[in-house]
Structure 1
Amino acid sequence: MDLRLSKSSQVYELLREAIISLRLAPDAPILEREISAQLGVSRTPLREAILQLATENLVRIAPSDGTFVNRIIPSEVLQGQLVRDTIEMRLTRLAARNFGDTFEKDFELSLFRQSSAAKRQDVDEFFALDNEFHRLICQCAGFPEAWQTIHGATGQLDRCRRLAFSLEAHYSAVYDEHAAMYEKLRTRDEDGVAEIFQVQLDSTFPSIDILLRERPDVVAGAEADFDIALIR
C-alpha cells in the first residue's frame, strides 16, 4: 500500500480492477477476511471501498448472505456510454483548445507504452494505459478532477470494454486512434479530435453485441431487450 494515499481509495481501485478484469467473476463472493489479510489492511478501509463499489453497482450487498460481484448491467453500460459521449467528448474538445507543449512528453510516453503493450497483447496493461490516456486528456483540458466523475460512472461500461479487448484483440486499432487523436490535439483541431473520438466511442456498440453473443453468462438479464438504438 502507498502510505501517501488513503487505504480505502487504494483498496477500491484494486477491487474495481479485479472486477473489471473478471479476476473477481460475476456472482463471486467478496471475502472480507481473506482480502483484508491479503492486502494487509483492516476491515474499515475494505468496507469503505465495498460501499463505494456498491454505489456504482459493481457489487451487491445482501445483509443476510454477504457481498457479491454484480453481473454486467446492460442499462448501466449504456449510461456509462452516455457519460463518455457527453462529458468526455466535451473535455476532449477542450483539450484540443487548451493544448500546451508541456503535455507533449506525457502523451508521447503514453503512446510509447501503449505500443509496447499492444505488441505483447498484454490486455491488463493496455486497458490501464487506455484509461490513463483519457485521464491525461482531462488534465490537458484543464479539468483533471473530471476524470474521477467519468471513472465512477463508467464501471459497468469498463467491464464491457475490458472484456472486448480479450475477445477482439483490437489493440492496434485503439493505439492508432489514440495516436491520431494526439496529432489532432497538438494542432488544436477540436473537430478533428472529436471525430476520431466519436469513432472510438461508436466501437463500443459492436463490442456489446460480441459480449452478449460470446459471454451472456456475465450479463444480468442477457435475454432482455438490450436496445442500443436508444442512445446511438
Structure 2
Amino acid sequence: MRKASPDMNVSSFSAALVKAADNPSGAVAHGSAAMRVYAALRAQIISLHLLPDTTLVRNDIARSFGVSQSPVREAIQKLEQEGLVISYPQSRTVVSKIDVAHARETQFLRVSVELEVAQTLAQAANPALLGPTSRLLRMQKLAGDDCDIGEFTTLDRLFHLSLFEAAGVRALWHVIADRSGHIDRLRRLNLPDPGKIAQVLRDHEAILSAIASGDRGEVEAAVRTHLSGTLAAVAKIRDQHPHYF
C-alpha cells in the first residue's frame, strides 16, 4: 500500500484524540469487529495514510486485525456506501479519489446545520456552554505551534463537535461526519498550505466571539467564512495534488 509523506504521521496523543473525535461514545471500541475495522480503515483514508488508488487486500486486512473475512467485508461495504472505496467484482477494492461534488453536497448540509447550532448557542447566552470549546481551541493553538497536522486536525473536529454537544444535538454531528470523508480529505490537503493553520485558528476565535456577542449577523458571517475556506481553494488544491482527484 502506498503511504503518505512522513509529515502526515500522528503522535500517540493524536491517536487518542482521534478516538475521542471519531468515537466519543466509545461504541466502536466495544462494538463489533466490523466496526473496529471500518473505523481504522476510514481513519487511515481520511488522514491520507491510504492514498487514492491504493488496493485494499482483504486477506491482509483480516490478518492484521486478527479477524475473519466477514467483518472485513462488512467494513468495506460501509466504506463503499460513503464513497471512500470502490470494489470491482471478482477483482479488487481500491481507495477512491476525492469527489468534489460530494464534498460540496456535504458542505451545504454542514453549513445549514452548524449555522443553526451557533445561533442556538448565541441565543442561549450562557458562557459556560463554551468552556469546553474554548479549552479545545487553546489546545489546537499549541498543536498549530508544533505544526502537528494530525493533532491539529483532530482538535479541529473536536472543536466543532463540542459546539454540537453544547447545543444538545451531538447526534447530528455524526450524521454529518459519516458523509464527510471527501471534504475531510480536501481539508487535510489544504491544511499544510502556508497561513492555513493560522487562518483556521482566527476563524475559530471569530466563531466563539460571535456566539458570545449574541449578534446573529456576526455569527452567520463567522460560520460561513470558516466553512467555505477549503472549497474556495479547490482549484489550487487540485493543481497541487492532481493524483488525489
Length-normalised TM-score, structure 2: 0.80
> How far apart are residue 102 of structure 1 and its match?
4.3
Match of 1:49 in 2: 75
Q: Residue 190 of structure 1 is aligned with which of 216, 219, 233?
A: 216
Contact 2:114 2:223 in 1 (8 A): no
- Structure 2 residue corresponding to 1:36, chosen from 45, 62, 84: 62
Amino acid at match of 2:98: I
1:133 partnered with 2:135: no
Q: Aligned equivalents of 1:198 and 1:169: distance in 2?
A: 19
Provide the alpha-carbon RMSD of the alignment: 2.2
Cα offsets for 1:193-218 (capped at 9, x unmatched)? 22111111221233212111111111
Structure 2 distance, partners of 1:198, 1:101, is 22
- Cα gap change, 1:154/1:3 in structure 2, threshold over 3 Å: closer, same or farther? closer
Q: Name the CA shift for 1:8/1:89 in 2 (closer, same or farther; >3 Å).
A: farther
Q: Secondary structure at the match of 1:75?
A: helix
Q: CA deviation at 1:57?
A: 0.5
- Partners of 2:174 and 2:110 lie apart in 1 by 12
User: Structure 1 residues 8, 110: closer, same or farther in 2, change over 3 A?
Assistant: farther
Please give the alpha-carbon distance, in whole angstroms, between the structure 2 residues aligned to 1:62 and 1:151: 26
1:96 shift after superposition: 2.4
**Distance in 1, Cα, partners of 2:203 & 2:157:** 14
Aligned to 2:9: none
> Whole-Å Cα distance in 2 between the matches of residues 105 and 89 of structure 1?
19
Query: Which residue number corresponds to residue 8 of structure 2?
Result: none
Amino acid corresponding to residue 140 of structure 1 in structure 2: A
**Are 1:110 and 2:136 an aligned pair?**
yes
Paired residue secondary structure (1:194): helix
Structure 1, unaligned runs of 5 or more: 220-232
Q: What is the CA–CA distance in structure 1 between the aligned matches of 2:224 and 2:126, rounded to whole Å?
A: 23
Report the alpha carbon displacement of residue 171 of structure 1 after superposing the two structures with TM.
Answer: 0.9
Match of 1:93 among 107, 119, 123: 119
The alpha carbon displacement at 1:59 in A equals: 0.5
- SS of aligned partner of 2:55: coil
Identity %: 28
Deviation at 1:118, TM superposition (A): 0.4
Q: Give the conservation status (yes or no) of the 8 Å contact 1:161–1:207.
A: no
Partner of 1:122: 148
The one-letter code sitting in structure 1 at the alignment partner of 2:100 is: P
* Structure 1 residues 44 and 182: alpha-carbon distance in aligned structure 2, compared to 1, 3 A threshold: farther
Aligned residue for 1:23, secondary structure, equals coil
Relative to the length of structure 1, the TM-score reads 0.85
Q: 1:145 aligns with which of 171, 181, 199?
A: 171
Residues of 1 paired with 2:146 and 2:203: CA distance?
A: 18
Does the 8 A contact of 1:99 with 1:140 survive in 2? Answer: no
Question: How do 1:56-67 residues align onto structure 2 when only pairs under 5 Å count?
Answer: 56-67=82-93
Query: Which moves more between the two structures, 186-195 or 149-158?
Result: 186-195
- Residue identity matched to 2:141: S
Contact 2:130/2:163 (<8 A) preserved:
no
Count of aligned pairs between the two proteins: 219
Runs of 5+ in structure 2 lacking a partner? Answer: 1-18, 20-27
C-alpha deviation, 1:5, in angstroms: 4.1
DSSP 3-state at the match of 2:48: coil
Whether the 8 Å CA contact 1:97–1:188 is kept in 2: the answer is yes
Instruction: State the partner residue of 1:177.
Output: 203
Contact persistence 1:138–1:147 (CA under 8 A): yes
Shift of 1:97: 2.5
